Chains A and B, each alone.
Chain A
Amino acid sequence: MNKPIRMMAIACLVMFTALLVNVNYVQFVSADSLNAKNGNKRVINEQFSRDRGPILVAGEPIVESVQSDDQYKFQRKYNDPELYSSITGYFSYLYGRSGIEYSQNSVLSGSDNRLFVNRVVDLLANKQPKGGSVELTIDPIAQKTAASGLKSLGKNAKGAVVALDPSTGAILAMANQPTYDPNLLASHDFGKVAEAWDSLTTDKDQPMLNRSTQQILPPGSTFKLVTAAAALEDLNLDPADKVKAGRSLSFPGIDYKLTNENNSSCGGETITFERALNVSCNVSFGTLAGKIGQEKLAEKAAAFGFGTDPLDGLAASASRFTSEGTDLEAPQLAQSGIGQYEVATTPLQMAMVTAGIANDGDVMTPYIVKTVRSPNLKVLDQADPTRLSQAMSGGDAAKLKKMMVSTVTEGTATSAQISGVDVGGKTGTAQSTPDRPPYAWFVSFAPANNPKVAVAVIVESTNVGRDEISGGRLAGPIARSVMEAILNK
């Protein structure tokens, strides 16, 4: 009977080996992913009572952990909450984290691998581990200017502003309206937190949505910049070349006619390409889109970043030229060329288009985290600007820049003029559905010879009557004040 007993000994060895391997798998290999699961109370309890690191803007903490005398020991405090909430996100016992609080959690909570040495030192000294700090690229003055610009449109106005540094991709401002107060969600009074959460999530204006990066809407005429970039390259067009204009663009065999804003004729049957951009002539750009073709136009949009989520660190949606697999008919292609039909972008994407043109055709990858530091202020990580793509040649970019400057001096975008500075810009007024007011867009950059800032502004709806909504009137002044805030430094 000894042979089967030996066999059973081997079988038991296999069983115990399986148990040992399995606990290694659970406690070592998959431990991180289990710890990161939502609703893991152990981790929530622990992280909620950590001395979490601050989030800084220009050296000042916009979020910090302060001592509290309850069981959690620390209370997360948001200074100037409404201004920064769409970037910082919230840190809540019941609802987890969002925004930078989510994406930089490992550093803020002190559990990051780069903080390993700190943790060991804290462990030996029997101290609570402390979190590192995260410094943002945001310019506080530009951020405040952008937010107050949106506020000046009235309480019910919804909109977003994104400002980029064209040469690096650093996000200088990212403001939304409406916003919310993350202090309500970070409170230790969980009953009130649940109430606040319910009212925020059921609010039809979606105050917790980061409109700058998460919401895609038709860009309207601001998209003509992409069409123009494609025309410069693929049609070898020069700003002085004549293009078709006139009151309407008709398509053989179809009843539909593409018309201009306010039924204008754009100043003749043919106008220069530059003039067509200046007056935002739908007929001209619809025609150009038809000549460029869907494939080349989609390629150009993709070169500016459409179709990808370009931003690390914040939840962002990819912008689109068409939905997946759409084959555009001639009228639809013409509509797409003027930023209608299925074209939909985030304000961040339009800011990237503008920044790319301003930066000699190079689109830089946008980023919002400037420096990550350990609790003893040692730099752990520093943003390194990288090129996302070359969207257009330097020569074409220079031509398009000039066309945008003349759009501000003598076209539709005059509201962005700054005295003594060459500004390039483009308006947009996008129709969505007939029953809601159109979206007012404005994109611009300055100064033209050495761009320091590129801005995109969208105003979704205001108290202003439908007829008066236009990108130049509503969104232009906000873009100008944000540019001024950055240039005046």
Chain B
Amino acid sequence: MSAASGAAPNWVPRKRRGAEFFLTVLAVLIGIGAYCAVGLGVEGKIPGGAVKLGAALIVLAVVTHLVIRRIAPYADPVLLPLVIALNGLGLAMIYRIDLARGARDPDWEPLANAQLMWTAIGIVAFTAVLIVVRDHRRLQSMTYTFGFVAIGLLILPLLPGIGRTVNGSRIWIGLGPMSFQPGEIAKICLAIFFAGYLVVKRDALALAGRRVMGIDLPRGRDLGPILAGWLVSLGILVFQRDLGSSLLFFGLFVVLLYIATERPGWLVVGGGLFLVGAYFGYLTFGHVQVRVNAWLDPFGDPDTNGQIINGLYGLAHGGLLGRGLGLGNPDLTPYSYSDFIVTSLGEELGLAGLMAILVIYGLIVERGLRIALVCRDAFGKLLAAGLAVSIAIQVFVVVGGVTRLIPLTGLTTPFLSYGGSSILANWAIIGLLLRISDQTRRPAPAVSTFDRDEPTQVVKAI
């Protein structure tokens, strides 16, 4: 840590809550506007649910805004509006898929209402995080608790009885009619655990080492933690058949190791282990080979790769400006409301809209990393950086996958995809980031010292 960031800032950050309010109004308008546009596009009229959805969005936005004003007044003012805009767009697109699928299939169960409910629950979680975690440094004392909770959550889907296999991946648990992906919550717990663990161990991991070709490589005996992280990720790949989460957890761990130790050597070791794991996965698992082949040559086997091909068709059909909300055929793509929601948005909002969405994600990550930069304590720095990087990796993996930049792996698109656990977890992440931000930007409490000695001065100093 540099000396400058350790010292209390000598400037008082502005709260900018008014700016946040203005941006939030814009974000809510985007959501409501998109919802109305869907209705106009599909049915030629503003949908009946528009008032309900509009009211719900406004209430949720106002509530979150007031919560921040009250209990995190110095928090970053840009994050919340960005997230609300994404959440609103996601709701509108899920409603749009509902309309298309419902028209073809009378048994289709609408998803938009459930997503709206989960958004509300997510905002409750967001508020709860802000209220319960008054100081993020408290979390550090529970490092290992979060580590065990994370492991427990990851193992849950493997337990007989409550674990469920959906599309070949065993990452769901079912409780009655509800299903849930504990991995999403585990992501946050792991980030806290990694941050807490590395803050303590970073000196040992950072100091000893050997220099090979200009890169400091760690000692063999210090490889333990990274090997453990690697094995856990491989375990997820082997037992849960979930490529995406495996990649996300390992990437998060390696990045945090690097940030904590400031040694690029860890990236080399991590990259090497990733290549070994990926090669092993490719050789061992049929589904990994299918994904890689679909990436290299999707049109070689159109029957198997229908999903990615349809996603690409959707994007191409959208072109520069898109078909317009409600006017394309995003429902032709399987999972157009979850994993492939980005191609649905690309089809109807076009390249212009999709680039805007990617830039929103980029801004969220940038604000997250900025929080990490400004943060004064090592744990907060690591945690904020870890959360921001996890969002970046997740967006890269899922958007890159559906747009054929990299092989397709299943992950949810934060705030857009249909799915309760994902919405809940990502709102909680934003809650944590805002908490760290508020903690960091809040002016240090006034400390009374002997600075009022002027009246007793005999000779004026200057």
Which residues of A are at the interface with B, using a C-beta cutoff of 8 A?
1-9, 12-13, 15-16, 18-20, 22-24, 26-28, 30-32, 34-35, 37, 39-43, 45-46
Contact of A12 with B365 in the complex, beta carbons under 8 Å? yes
Which residues does chain A contribute within 8 Å of B373, judged by CB atoms?
2, 5-6
Within 8 A of A (CB), among B383-413: 385, 388-389, 392-393, 395-396, 399-400, 403-405
Contact of A15 with B259 in the complex, beta carbons under 8 Å? no
Contact of B316 with A19 in the complex, beta carbons under 8 Å? no
Give the docked Cα–Cα distance between A31 and B318 (Å).
9
Residue from A20, A23, A43 with most neighbouring chain B CB atoms (10 Å)? A23
The 0/1 profile, CB within 8 Å of A marked 1, for residues 246-262 of chain B is 00000000010011101
Asked if B444 lies at the interface with its beta carbon under 8 angstroms from chain A, I say no
Contact of B365 with A28 in the complex, beta carbons under 8 Å? no
Asked if B361 lies at the interface with its beta carbon under 8 angstroms from chain A, I say yes
Which residues does chain A contribute within 8 Å of B215, judged by CB atoms?
none
Contact of B346 with A42 in the complex, beta carbons under 8 Å? no
Taking the closest CB of chain A, its distance from the CB of B452, in whole angstroms, is: 35
Pick from B67-75, B122-130, B347-355 the stretch touching chain A.
B347-355
Asked if B216 lies at the interface with its beta carbon under 8 angstroms from chain A, I say no
8 extra A-B contacts, CB within 8 A, seeds A8-B259, A20-B355, A35-B317: A5-B373, A5-B381, A9-B366, A18-B400, A27-B350, A32-B316, A42-B328, A42-B329
Which residues does chain B contribute within 8 Å of A9, judged by CB atoms?
366, 369
Which residues does chain A contribute within 8 Å of B347, judged by CB atoms?
42
Give the docked Cα–Cα distance between A7 and B258 (Å).
10
Contact of B362 with A12 in the complex, beta carbons under 8 Å? yes
Contact of B405 with A5 in the complex, beta carbons under 8 Å? no
Pick from B11-19, B231-239, B279-287, B307-315 the stretch touching chain A.
B307-315
Which residues of B are at the interface with A, using a C-beta cutoff of 8 A?
1-2, 5, 255, 258-260, 262, 264, 299, 302, 312-320, 328-329, 332, 346-347, 350-351, 354-355, 358-359, 361-362, 365-366, 369, 372-373, 378, 381-382, 385, 388-389, 392-393, 395-396, 399-400, 403-405
Contact of B262 with A3 in the complex, beta carbons under 8 Å? yes
CB nearest neighbor in B for A12: B392
Chain A interface SS verdict (over half): helix
Which residue of the partner chain, among A6, A26, A37, contacts B404 with CB atoms under 8 Å? A26
Give the docked Cα–Cα distance between A435 and B106 (Å).
61
Question: Given that A18-B405, A23-B354, A28-B319 are contacting pairs, would A1 and B313 also be in contact in the complex, using a CB cutoff of 8 Å?
Answer: no
Which residues does chain A contribute within 8 Å of B259, judged by CB atoms?
1, 4-5, 8
Q: Ordered nearest first, which 7 A-B pairs have the shortest CB separation?
A: A34-B316, A27-B351, A31-B316, A4-B259, A22-B405, A42-B317, A16-B362
Contact of A20 with B358 in the complex, beta carbons under 8 Å? yes
Contact of B262 with A12 in the complex, beta carbons under 8 Å? no
Can you list 10 contacts pairing A with B, beta carbon distance less than 8 Å?
A2-B373, A3-B262, A4-B259, A5-B381, A5-B385, A20-B355, A22-B400, A27-B320, A42-B314, A45-B329
Which residues does chain B contribute within 8 Å of A34, judged by CB atoms?
312-313, 315-316
Which residues does chain B contribute within 8 Å of A23, judged by CB atoms?
315, 346, 351, 354-355, 358, 403
Question: Given that A16-B362, A27-B315 are contacting pairs, would A1 and B378 also be in contact in the complex, using a CB cutoff of 8 Å?
Answer: yes
